Amino acid sequence: MLSLKPRDLAKLLAQPQESPQDAPVLLDVREPWELTICGIEGSISIPMQQIPRAFAGLDPERPIVCICHHGIRSFQVARYLEHQGFGRVINLEGGVAAWARDVDPAMATY
């Protein structure tokens, strides 16, 4: 499994992708109440506990960046997706807390 620091993810998101298949899916695995506080624009939400029921709706060929508050839950989800055959899974190191600190200081934190 790959991991990216927030600044590296920001650079990746800023780059034009050659095809829609190369554009990363930002998968936020936090709980709904956490999403009311902050989130990375363009993320889709599937709380961690729902991943076993909902991962079939994700494209295993696309890169998937797993996101949570500090990077722990997203790491677990990324490993789970890898075991389910997803080949392009990335964990956001430090989660949205690190994103707010390193990329978007205006983002609310908790």
* Active-site option among 48, 66, 68, 92: 68
pLDDT greater than 90 at residue 17: no
Note if 66 is an active site residue: no
Say whether pTM exceeds 0.75. yes
| Predicted local distance difference test score (pLDDT) of residue 21 | 81
What's the full length of the chain, in residues? Answer: 110
pLDDT in tens, 59-107: 999 999 999 999 999 999 999 999 999 999 999 999 999 999 999 999 9
> Which residues lie across from 67 on neighbouring strands?
28
CA distance 2 to 18: 21
pLDDT digits (tens, 9 = 90+) for 18-49: 888 889 999 999 999 999 999 999 999 999 99
- Could you give all domains of the chain from N- to C-terminal order, each with its CATH number? 2-102 (3.40.250.10)
- The dihedrals phi and psi of 90, each to the nearest 5 degrees, come to -130, 140
